[in-house]
Each structure stands twice: as structure tokens, then as C-alpha cells.
Structure 1
Amino acid sequence: MKRLPVLLLFILGFIMVGTAQNKQIPLEEIWNGEFNTEGMDVLRSMNSGTEYTILNNIGATKSSSIDKYSYATLEKLETIVSSADSANIPYFTSYEFSQDESKILLATEIEPIFRRSTLGIFYLYDVASKSIINIADTKIQEPTLSPDGVKVAYMQNNNLFVFNVADKTTAQVTSDGVKNQIINGVTDWVYEEEFGFVRAFEWNSNGTKIAFMRFDETEVPEFSMDMYGSELYPSRNEFKYPKAGENNALVSLHLYDVASAKVVMIDLGNAYYIPRIKWMNNANYLSVQTLNRHQDQLKLLSVNATNKNVSLLLEEQDDAYVDITDNLTFLADDSFIWSSEKDGYNHLYLYDSKGKLKNQVTKGTWEVTNYYGYDKKADKIYYQSTENGSINRDVYSINSNGKSKKRLTEKTGQSYASFSADFTYFINTFSSATTPPEYTLHKAQSGKEVKKIKDNKALLKKLEDYVISPKEFSTLSVNGNDLNMWMIKPQDFDANKQYPLLMFQYSGPGSQSVSNRWMASNDYWYQMLAAEGYIIACVDGRGTGLKGRDFKKVTQLELGKYEVEDQITAAQTLSDLSYIDENRTGIWGWSYGGFMSTNCLLKGNDVFEMAIAVAPVTSWSFYDTIYTERFMKTPAENPSGYDDNSPFNYPELLKGKYLLVHGSGDDNVHVQNSMRMIEALVQANKEFDWAIYPDKNHGIYGGNTRLHLYTKMTNFIKENL
């Protein structure tokens, strides 16, 4: 075969000269946390901008405290509240200050519902008097202090309530909430999963009104899962889950006036989705983002809370879809900063309060990946971007007019910033493929490092005893595109030998798996495999993110077509290398990656000899409306897009070795996907291996579950590659 070009950009390796790297990484050490990095507990800047707080939890003694530190010295100044100081203060796991920092909302006894939603018992602590009160006697959702700190709004049993701190009375705002029918104030399953938020109510800036969303799930089809547990009979988990093409919840917007206790509905016209609501600085104006069902037309609306009039601020349209972000920021005069891909890359824009474009703030063939905030005093916008290469991240500042841009971080890798309230300082978290997370304090104006806070040199020292191979970053020329790739070779690599190749990918729209960052758990697994003589590679094909709109959205209406073509061609290209054994090529992935690995084994059955699919989608008709229709429209509108890339429609193509894994309690990618794939393979009389993990969700973890899963996958690779 003709040799296709592989352009090596750079190799990142560990400098461990003269050390004895003779221990192989065992699975047990990966999954018992032996290689976990030290991090900083989530810190929150105080209003002063010179101090921050950290929640310090001591699990062994079940004690927790909120401690105040100085940015300038990083020294602890005082303990604001501690569960060890009083029997009245329970052990808490998260907290929220009131706007004036006089009160603190403490979360206890938290239990998960779905990916982001939780229930808990919440208390309000008064900093001055050191008194504490209970918000509600039973578990509640999403309690949120009013800006003046005198009330707490929360959701309980699908209804919205407001607790008055002074007299400890509670007003019930809605009364029609019913499980699997009506939800007030929090999102339904599909909004939580795909629009990424749970709390669907917001206080206005002076605490006089609450805007909230209401979900009518009555016509949404119900999904049920048996939960096997340990009792004689299984229980059943039933929830509303709209699969592609099915009915979504009817969503409406409402305003609650605290003084009159009246609720009014706001007419948003033909709004199908309401992915974001956000009050402006003017307490009488609410911004609302709406989407049509195809998600290719987004409107930013202004709602006058006094007369209920609705006006259009701006509109975004795209031939494919419009992304939803949290980058909308209203400045003092309610002019606003907005992010958009309308010039082909994700950038920041400045609009006046009426929605007229003032100027594009950032420009270039790179992407803004994080918006950190606006410093009015210095007229500086702080953001993170890929300007230093799509696999890297740096922190920048720029004036609101798009001038005086400054790179604030210097090291090549991934930098993430956490700014003080007044933008005097930021704490930078940096890592790369060779450097575990480092935490440093910087001046925001100049980016100058003030001092080091924490690093993970102890982990690097520990890794000197293990067989560790460098992660080589490169680009691979595939189907007319230079695709980002990393490769890990055995430490004793010999170019004159041939090695089996295991490819990993995720490949979902806008995702990134090839990134210059420190190792995650899977990377240690790859190191273990490399030490046993495997080459591991990862290629981000078409449809992945951070290389511009067109590269990302080329897969529209055809999920699994171009991505699969790229992985097959990449495997062929790599097999052309003299040191790759073209007869021993495997691929694996989880979720979207499992969908991909399954398709690659079938459609690339002359290229791949083995595949592992964990929690795969096997038909997009089984997945939820918001995610699937964003990229595919509905099954009725795009039947070939669904059918042509659904692997259970062509099980007869299976030639290689296939391992299929799923958790039976997966509320996200239902085990139905794997059951349909299994039935198709059985009826095609194809041999394969499979495993079902009882009651485990999409993450398939808990106890020894991950160790068992990765042991099974490791053995499967050794036996079949």
C-alpha cells in the first residue's frame, strides 16, 4: 500500500534519566486512586477581591469548615464556620454565600437524582450571630438565596416554594406539580442532560420577582428500568424520556411577584425550547433564550417584567445548529457580551442594550473556549482560547473594543483560571502531558506569577518507579484533513519490530480526545498496555471540536458516517507504518465512542480485528430528542441518516472479535441499545462477548465495578489482539 504521510509535531516525554522504571502499572493501583493528583478544593472569591474561601472537609472525622484565605499571602485568615465547633452545625458538603456575605447556605445529606440533580437537607447560617436554621424539614432541590438574603426559593415535590428567613414561614408558589406530569422550577431529564442545568428559576436583582420555567411532561413517553437491588423483587425506575421524534415537555415561562404573591405566564410566541433565562441588571428586565425544535434558530429575547412585553434582542441562525453557552454577560448599562460561531470560529461579541452589535471582540482561526468575566474598571475581558494550538489552552485579556490583547499564561499545555472578584488576581491551574496539575497565583493585569501554591511533584517522583512511555502528539493526513493524534509506544520500542495497535476515540460532535493535558485514569491503563507491547493511538476525526465550525458540523444529518470513515482510514494509514502489524488492529470507545467502535468493526471489517463498545448508542432513534435532533433532525425527516449508521441494521458484517458492555441502570444510553444489538447479532448467528453490570448507570462504577470492567477489557485485548 502507498505510505500516507504522518507529520510528527512534537513528542512529550518524561525526563527520568538514570531511574529504574521497571514496575508495570497494575489495574488495582489505577482504580484504588494510587495515581490521583492533589488538587485545590473549590475556592470562591469574596467580595473584597483580596480574600477567598475554601471548603475543607475531613472525611475521617466527618467535619467540615469554610476557611478564609488571603490572595496575597495564601495564608489562612480565619474559620468562618465549622461543624466541629457546635453540635448545632451539621457536617456539610457545599455552601453558598448571600450576596452581602452575611449568611451562608449549607448543604447536607446530599443524594443524586440524575447526572446533575440532587436532593438534600439545607441550613442557613448567620455569620454575625452564629445561629443556624433549617430551610425545610424534608429534602429539597436547588435552594437559592434572594439577592438581599431575606428569602430562599427552592423546589420540593415538583413545586416552587419561598422561605422567609425572618419569620421562618414558607409560601408555596405553585401547587400543580406532580411526578412525571408537571415540574415547576427545575428541569426535566432531557434539559438537565443536554442543556446542562437543573435550577429553572432565577431571582431578579432586587429580590422582588422570580422567573421560573414550568414543564408539562404529560405527553412525553415514559421510560422504565428494572432496578435489581438485593430484595426479593426488583423495583422499577420510571421517568419521562423523549426519544428522537417523540413529544417533548411543553415548556412555559412564568413570573412570580413576591409582594402580591401572583404568578403570570409570559407569552414567548412559538418558543419550543427555553435553554436559558437570565435577569439583567435592571430588575424589571429578563433575558430569555429560545430555540426551535431543529435548534438552528436561536432568539435572545428581552422580557419587560412590568408590562410583560417581549422584544427581540438578537437572533442567530445556522445551517446545522446553534450551540448554547453560559457566556452571556450583562454589563452595568445592560449592554452585553455574547459568544457566537457566526464567523466560522467561536468568538466574543459586544452588543448594546438594544441588541445592536458594537464590535466583535475576538477574531482569528481559533476558538474561545472559556469566558471568565469583564473588569469594568480596566475595561478588560478575560477568556481562554486555543490560539496557541487546538490541543492547548491559554488565558488572555483583551479590551472590549478588541484591542490590547495579552496572553497571561506562558506554559504550553492546558491553563484554566479562577479570578478574584475584583480581577486583581487569578489562580491558574496548569497541566500538560508531562506535567501534572500545578496551581499558581498570578496578577490579572500582567499575568505575572506571584507565587506557587501547589504542584504534584510527589506523583512525578512516584512514577519514576514505573514503566512510563511518552505521549507523542502529531497530525495525521486523513481524507483531506490533518487530524490531531496522540500515540503511546512501548518504552523499549524497536522500529524494526511490529506491534499490535489499539485505537481509542470518542468522536462526538464538538468533543476533543487529543489534548495536551495530564493523564486521566484511562491513560494509566494505556501505559500498562504499552508496557506489555501494545501501541495505543487516538485520532480526533471530522466532527470533533475546536477546529472551527465547518470541521465540527460536517457530520450534520450523518452521525457515524464521516467519523467512521476517518477512523477506518486512520487505522489503514497507521497500519502502513513499518512497525504496526496490520493484522492486529483494535478500537474501543464508550458511549458515542462505543457507537463508533461498533461501526468501525462492522464497516471496517477488513481493517479492524477487534472492538470493545461500552454503553454504546446502536440507533439514534433510541436517544433523546435534544441531543439527537440537534444533529440529525427527526427519524421521520431523516430516515437514511438514522438507518444507514445504525449497527444493528448490518450485523452480518461482523468478522472480528467484539465485546459489548452496558450497565442495566443506564438512564442516559439505555441498555435497550445493547439488547437490540445483541438480538441482531444472535439472529445473524455471529459470535461475540458481552457483559451487563446490574443497576450501574452510564458511568459503570461503584465498589469493584471499574476494576472488574477494565480487567475484562484487558483480558479481551490480550486474547484477541
Structure 2
Amino acid sequence: MKSAALLLTLALGCNTICAQQKQFTIDEATLGMQTSLAAENIKQLSWIPGENTLAHIVKTNYGEAFISKSIPSQQVDTLLRLPAVNQSLFGKSALKAFPPLQWVDANTLYFEWQRRYFIASKQGKEWQAATWLTLPENAENASVEPNTKQLAYTHGNNLFLVNNLGKTIQVTKDLDGDIVNGQSVHRQEFGIDHGIFFSPKGNYLAFYRMDQRMVENYPLINWDDTPATVHYTKYPFAGRTSHEVTLGVYNPKTEQTTFLQTGEPKDHYLTCVTWSPDEKFIYVAILNREQNHLWLNQYDAQHGNFIKTLFEESDPKYVQPIHTLHFLPGKTDEFVWWSQRDGFMHLYRYDINGKLLNQITKGDWLVNEISGVNANKKTLYITSTKDSPMEKHLYAVNWENGKMERLDHDAGVHQISINSNGTYGIDNWSNGTIPRVIDVISTEKKWKQRLLTAANTLEGYQRPKIEDVTLKAEDNTPLYGKLIYPTNFDATKKYPVIVYLYNGPNVQLLSNSFPASGNLWYEYMAQRGYLVFSMDGRGSSNRGLRFEQATFRHLGTVEMADQMQGVNYLTSLPFVDVKRMGIHGWSYGGFMTTSFMLRKPDVFKVGVAGGPVMDWKMYEAMYTERYMDSPQENPHGYEEANLLDKTKDLKGKLLLIHGTMDSTVVWQHSIKFLKEAIKTRTQIDYFVYPGYEHNVRGYDRIHLMQKISDYFDLYLKSETAE
């Protein structure tokens, strides 16, 4: 008996030790946080419009059910059962799970499956599902108008409307495929993510029309066909001819389209498209090609006439409008405008005559989102970086006097959804050690209930020590970084280091969210004996305009100076092997990686650059000209950042990776780089992903991360690696 007890004790002890020593596989390190290691969540959690009632999906013994829960009473009701929906619509179990459910009002919702749209509505006390309509094959950009139950979509380059009687109307009839209607324009810069704009009551349909006939064709090769086939896309290079965009307004009653008179030059940018609540006007932010001057214009929606410019904004470097107007509830004459005019993204209240009524928020921090409103209290619910640029918190702010109050209490990054009454909110948050918590809170701070505390799916794995680091840029700006130690760290040893970076506009790598490392691949490499370091230098997002604009006209220069502060910090540590330092990044990070390997060739022994820009003259006009001006205006800046003429300076090992169908950073960047490397007899390692665009996603990403890991192992891990 004693022997059996001893064996049991040893077995239990071994299980505990073994569990603590569990290593991440490359599959888990790459896709685990989205699959097997994902934190528990509440599926399709939402507010029912106009009610203090939540809705979400639960699993039952009979399949999924869509339920409601009244707040604060907690009364639960079942709205839809998946088996019943399947039976009424398909006569069989076609749906294995509910598709995304979209609310129309408290008694109606809709969903889409395989190009078919279905409506579920409350009939008495029961909910019934019925077929609505079917879209043709290859239909894209579907947009539903819930009030009138209309749907617009694009097919090819034209726009179609299915009216509330089920009749399909072809709104545009452009025969030239280079004229595109109803799609995103300006290569999805300026916050643009769609091209169809129903009016608030559904009586009109506005849409982008983009004429690309004057833009150069760019070939993308499909290597799956034999022989390979060519698809041409329109690519407006920096400093070269760009497309021309207008905004049409279609009236379903008259079946006529009117175009807004947005004026010239025709290659300006149209964004922040907003209908007035009464449907009489459309507001458009017009940004000049130089991107340093903006006009907020009002147009007559019926006739397309220009009415007036409400106000203008300008900046010596650039203006970047990315938010539509937010009309205040119950008002047709007051709205909230987002602006960085004082150096940080803040909210301003205007009337429709262009009079500034007040600045709602101010300070050396920025507003991230408007999450909801409370009309009775004249309150906006916003998330902001007021407490820390590494976190995001919920605030209530009065839109007349600017009085603010924080509504959450826990450190971390908070994702917020406020109900339509502005009385309750869903607070979905995490921090470095907490995977996910979902709370329902009263906006008056009088009531709170926890809906979910997710278990830590990473327990049992060998996790590295993670240390927050704050350094200083040359101008004393704080720079936030993270140092990830090797597991089983021994301070008497010297370790190789991998620096992962992006350091480009509109991206922030580091935040106080789960996991604290920011990426399980970092932890995978730490388990393999590496130090991993990452830092957001000047030029990256969420720190204000001065921080971002420090790189203006000289991309890659200030960023390298900041990253060198990180390098100097690393080399000051006694356990860092300065002869075994590596660097890795993708896209802008690929540009930065290659820049370091060529412009500071003595710093890093090994670099892996994915989808890198090699010559900014070959990148798109909208992005590049904002941060660099045009090549004609800034030849020195472009030449300084050009990597094609610097291949001879490479000393370390460099692996370039590119997708063959990349229409963002076109494949020609790395092809031209290879050609220059051949001229200078410089040896480069190279790998392509056939058929992939700018990123390698899905299961094939495991292959990518294995290749990157193996490359560092081959040339960096061993002290004798050559």
C-alpha cells in the first residue's frame, strides 16, 4: 500500500511538473490564440435595439439557441432555436451554427447564408424565420437598409438595388470595367471601408463612383493556371496619375441618379460621407491631393448642388480625416466632428452653419471610439487613452460642458458596446494576465454583473518572464517596449535576441492586453532560447500627432533612431549576446528590417523581412504622399529611404518573403531588389508564397512561421552559426 501511494504521489508530481513544462507547438504559436487556445467568449453578444435587453447564443442539448436576457432583472427568454430555423427554412439541418444575426428593430433581425438572406420576426410571442431574397453569384459589397428592407450590392463594376417589393434595379450601367460603382475608393485610406450609403430613412441611396481609366494597369500573375494568366489591377503610384471619384445619389422613386458637384481638381479625396438625419443634405470632407487642406462641405442631396463649406482644416504636414460626422440624438443641426487640430484626436461640437459650439474633449491623450449616447443626459460614451496609451478605458463626457467621468475600474483594454438608451454597457476587457472578462455595467455606476470570466488557456505551458521597458527617444519622448526572457533563464549566460518591429503609421504593437507578450510566437521563440524585444517608436499610432508626424518626409530614419535606443538598451544587458542579434518585421516592418540590414549593417546579424517596401516611389499615392509628399516635392527623402541602391552594404544574412499576388506592396519591390543584389554580387535568401496577397493567412501561415523560426535557428541560435 505504501508503494502504491508513493507511486501515485510521484505520478501526480510528474503530471504537475510536466504540465508546467509544456511547450508551444508551432501550430499553437501561430494560430492558437484564434483556435485551440482562444479565450472563452459569449457568442454574438449584442443589445436588442431600444431595450435594456441582451441577446446571445448558447449551446443546448438540441443545438444552438439565441436567447435574450433582461437587464437588470436577468429574465431569460428563448428567441430562436437552430433546429426550428433549419426545419422552417431548409427542411433539414443545413445550418450547423447560427450565422451572424443582425438586428433591424426589437422584433426583427436578419442573417445571410450562401448569398441567401433570411428575416426572423416576432409573431405574437413566437419568432418565425422566412426567406427574404437571394443574390446572384459573385455579388459583393452587400448593404442592407433595415428600415425599408432594401438591399444594395455590386456585381462586377456596377451597383444594384433590391427594393422592398423584391424587384432588382440596376442603378449604374457603366460598360467600362475601369469605372467602378458602390465599392471602397482611395485604396481604403481615410477610414473608407465601403462605398454604399443608404439615407437614414432608406429613401435614397448614395454611392461612390470611381473612374480609374487614367490610372496605370498593374499585372498580377495567377500561377495556378497553365499557362499562367494575367489579371490587371489599377495601381496609382506615388507622384503619378491617380483616380477620380464622385458621389452619386439614387432616388428609387424616380429611378434617377444625381451626382454631387464636388468640383476640381478631380483627383482630390472624398471621405467622411454623412447623410443629414432629415435626408436633405450630404456632408463630404474634401481633401486635396497634397493632403494638407480639408474642406467640410454641405451638398443638396436632391440636386447635387454645393451649398457651403462649413469649415476648413489645414496642417503643414498632413490632415487625416477618418471619421464620419456624428449627429447628436434628436438634432438635425448639431454634430460631433473628430479632429487632431490640437495635436490629439478629440471631439468638437458644431452646428450645420459651421459654427464651433465647443471642444468636447481635450488633453494630451486621444479619443478611440464613440461607443454610445444618452440623449437625456447629453452624454457621449467614449473610449480613450486618457489613463495610458497602453490601455483603453470607458468614459462618460457631457457634450456641452466637457465634464468627464471614467466608468470602468480595471486596468487593461476595454471594448465597449452601449445600449441604444445609453443606460447600460457591455464591457469586454482583458489585460496582460487576464484573458477575458465580460461585465454588464450601468452607465450610472450603480449596477454591475459579471457575465464571463474566461479561463486562462495558457496555464500549464512554460511561459517566459515579460518585462515592460520604457526608454527615451532623442527628444526625450517616452518609448514603450517589452522584453521577453528565455524560459529557464540563466543570468550568467548570453542569449541571442530577436527584435520584432513595425514602427509605421496607424499601428500600435504594444498594449496591456492578453497575452502580455503580445504574440505566442514570441513565447515559442523564448522557449527555444531567445530573448525577444519589441517597441513602438515614433511614427506609430495612438500617441498623438507630434509622435506620428516625427517621421514626415523621411520614412525609416527617425524610426531607426528610436529602435537604436532599444538596441542600445539590449546591448547594455550582460546576458545579451551582441554578436547574435536578429530582426524581423512584415510590411512596414519589412521595410524597417531591410533598412536596418542595409543602412546599419553592423547591428543585426540576421534579418527576416516580409512584404517589404523597397522604393516608396513604387507604393500607392494615398498613403505615401501623406507621409512623404510626392517624389517630385521630396526627392531627397525618397532617395534616402530607397533600399534598391543599398544592396552592396548588406553584411548579415537576410531572408526576404513575398506573396506573388500582393496588390498592396507589389511583388516588383522584392524582384527589383533581387536584381540589384545580383548586380552587386550580394547574396540574398528569398521565398515566395504563390497566390498570396500581402499577408499569409490561414493554415499556410504555420509554414511561414516555421520558415522564419528555422532561419533564425540556422543563423542566429548557435554561437558558431555562420
Q: Give the alignment's TM-score, normalised by structure 1.
A: 0.89
Amino acid corresponding to residue 259 of structure 2 in structure 1: M
Tell me the SS of whatever aligns to 1:30: helix
CA contact (8 A) 1:121 1:137 kept: no
Q: Which range is displaced more, 500-509 or 67-76?
A: 67-76
Q: 2:438: which partner in 1?
A: 439
Aligned equivalent of 2:100: 94
Q: What residue in structure 1 maps to residue 681 of structure 2?
A: 685
- Whether the 8 Å contact between 1:220 and 1:240 is mirrored in structure 2 is yes
* Distance in 2 (alpha carbons) for counterparts of 1:630 and 1:56: 47
Q: Does 1:338 align with 2:337?
A: yes
1:359 is paired with a residue whose SS is strand
Tell me the equivalent position of 2:170: 172
* 8 Å contact from structure 2 (residues 368, 384) kept in 1: yes
Contact 1:43-1:55 within 8 A present in 2 as well: yes
Give 1:714's aligned amino acid.
S
AA paired with 1:336? F
Identity of aligned residues (%): 29
Work out whether 1:672 is the aligned partner of 2:668. Answer: yes
Aligned partners of 2:667, 2:342: CA distance in 1, in Å? 40
Q: Equivalents in 2 of 1:608, 1:105: separation in Å?
A: 54
Which one-letter code corresponds to 2:113 in the other structure? T
- In 1, the alpha carbon distance for the partners of 2:142 and 2:30 equals 35
Residue 473 of structure 2 corresponds to 478
Counterpart residue number, 2:112:
107
Paired residue type of 1:37: A
Whether contact under 8 Å (2:275, 2:281) holds in the other structure is yes
Kept after mapping to 1: 8 A contact 2:48/2:103: no
Shift of 1:327: 5.4
In structure 2, the residue corresponding to 1:171 is in which secondary structure? strand
Which residue does the alignment assign to 1:354?
Answer: 353
Gap regions ≥5 residues in structure 2: 1-15, 717-722
- CA drift of 1:641 comes to 1.6
Match for residue 240 of structure 1 among 234, 237, 251: 234
For 1:113, the equivalent position in structure 2 comes to none
Q: CA shift at 1:315, angstroms?
A: 1.6
**1:629/1:449 Cα in 2 relative to 1: closer, same or farther (>3 Å)?**
farther
Range moving further from structure 2, 392-401 or 71-80:
71-80
Counterpart residue number, 1:7: none
Aligned twin of 2:10: none
Counterpart amino acid of residue 467 in structure 1: Q
What is the identity, as a one-letter code, of the residue corresponding to 1:567?
Answer: Q
Distance of aligned partners of 1:671 and 1:72 in 2 relative to their CA distance in 1, 3 Å threshold: farther
Alignment of 1:401-480 (within 5 A): 401-446=400-445, 450-459=448-457, 463-480=458-475
Whether the 8 Å contact between 1:440 and 1:449 is mirrored in structure 2 is no
Which residue of structure 1 aligns with residue 255 of structure 2? 261
Contact 1:362 1:402 (8 Å CA) reproduced: no
Q: 2:307 aligns with which of 286, 307, 310?
A: 310
| Aligned match of 1:131 | 130
| Contact in 2 for aligned 1:46/1:52 (Cα 8 Å) | yes
Residue deviations 1:228-254 (CA, integer Å, cap 9, x gap): 22x533333322221212222211122
Look up the equivalent residue of 2:79 and give its one-letter code. Answer: T
Q: Map 1:446-595 onto structure 2 (within 5 A).
A: 446=445, 450-459=448-457, 463-481=458-476, 482-519=478-515, 523-595=519-591
Counterpart contact for 1:64–1:84, Cα < 8 Å: no
Cα–Cα, structure 1 residues 695 and 442, in superposed 2: closer, same or farther, change >3 Å? same
Distance 1:24 1:201, change over 3 A: closer
Question: Could you tell me how far apart the structure 2 residues matched to 1:154 and 1:403 are?
Answer: 41
Equivalent pair of 2:318/2:626 in contact (CA under 8 Å): yes
Deviations 1:635-686 (A, max 9, x none): 2222222221121221111001111111112222222111112222222112
- Separation of aligned partners in 2, 1:169 and 1:399: 45
Aligned to 1:39: 41
Residue matched to 2:70: 70
* Secondary structure at the counterpart of residue 85 of structure 1: helix
Superposition deviation, residue 102 in structure 1: 5.3
Closer, same or farther: CA 57–560 of 1 in aligned 2, 3 Å: farther
Give the aligned partner of residue 299 of structure 1.
295
Figure out how many residues of one structure are paired with residues of the other and give that number: 682
Deviation sequence 1:113-160 (CA, Å, 0-9, x none): xxxxxxx44445555464323243434233334453243333222222
Aligned match of 1:14: none
Structure 2 contact 89–130 (Cα < 8 Å) conserved: no
Kept in 1: contact 2:42–2:57 (CA 8 A): no
Contact 1:663 1:695 in 2 (8 A): yes
CA contact (8 A) 1:347 1:363 kept: yes
**Cα distance in 1 for residues equivalent to 2:223 and 2:70:** 50
1:411–1:97 distance in 2 versus 1, CA, 3 Å: closer
Q: Per-residue deviation at 1:170?
A: 2.1
Query: CA contact under 8 A between 1:121 and 1:139: conserved in structure 2?
Result: no
1:86-122 deviation digits (Å, cap 9, x = unpaired): 2448647334343x4555443223xxxxxxxxxx444
1:6 alignment counterpart: none
In structure 2, distance between residues paired with 1:519 and 1:38: 14
Q: State the 1:56 CA deviation.
A: 7.3
Partner of 1:79 in structure 2?
A: 79
Secondary structure of the equivalent of 2:502? coil
Q: How many angstroms apart in 1 are the aligned matches of 2:502 and 2:664? A: 16
The CA deviation string for residues 517-574 of structure 1, in whole angstroms up to 9 with x for no partner, is 1139972121122223221111211111222211110111111111122223421332
Distance 1:450 1:326, change over 3 A: same
Aligned to 1:714: 709
Q: Give the counterpart of 1:321 among 285, 308, 318.
A: 318
Is contact 1:51–1:68 with CA below 8 Å preserved after alignment? yes
RMSD: 2.7
C-alpha separation in 2, matches of 1:292 and 1:564:
30
CA distance in 1, matches of 2:227, 2:74: 55
Moved more, 66-75 or 623-632: 66-75
Whether the 8 Å CA contact 1:290–1:298 is kept in 2: the answer is yes
Rounded Cα–Cα distance in structure 2 between residues aligned with 1:701 and 1:620: 25
**Contact 1:571–1:585 (CA under 8 A) maintained in structure 2:** no
Superposed, which structure 2 residues align to 1:283-294 within 5 Å?
A: 283-294=279-290
Q: Secondary structure at the match of 1:86?
A: helix
Residue deviations 1:338-393 (CA, integer Å, cap 9, x gap):
12111111111111222211111111111112221321111111111111111111
Counterparts of 2:424 and 2:18 in 1: how far apart (Å)?
39
* Residue 659 (1) aligns with residue 661 (2): no
Structure 2 counterpart of 1:222, one-letter code:
N
Q: Which residue of 2 aligns with 1:219?
A: 214
DSSP 3-state at the match of 2:520: helix
Cα distance change on mapping 1:644 and 1:700 into 2, 3 Å: same
Partners of 1:95 and 1:409 in 2: how far apart? Answer: 28
Residues 270-312 of structure 1: CA deviation (Å, up to 9, x unaligned): 3611123111112212111111112111221111224534211
Rounded Cα–Cα distance in structure 1 between residues aligned with 2:673 and 2:217:
22
Q: Is contact 1:419-1:425 (8 Å) kept?
A: yes
Amino acid aligned to 2:261: D
Question: Taking structure 1 as reference, are residues 624 and 41 closer, same or farther at Cα in structure 2, changes over 3 Å only?
Answer: farther
- Match among 215, 220, 228 for residue 223 of structure 2: 228
Query: Conserved in 2, the CA contact under 8 Å of 1:157 and 1:178?
Result: no
Q: Is the 8 A contact 1:542 1:563 kept in 2?
A: yes
SS in structure 2 of the partner of residue 676 of structure 1: helix
1:201 and 1:210 in contact (8 A); partners too: yes
Contact 1:568 1:600 in 2 (8 A): no
Matched to 1:422, the amino acid is N
* Cα distance change on mapping 1:580 and 1:590 into 2, 3 Å: same
1:24-47 Cα distance to aligned partner (Å, 9 max, x none): 222133345332222333433222
* 8 Å CA contact 2:496, 2:531 repeated in 1: yes
- Partner in structure 2 of residue 4 of structure 1: none
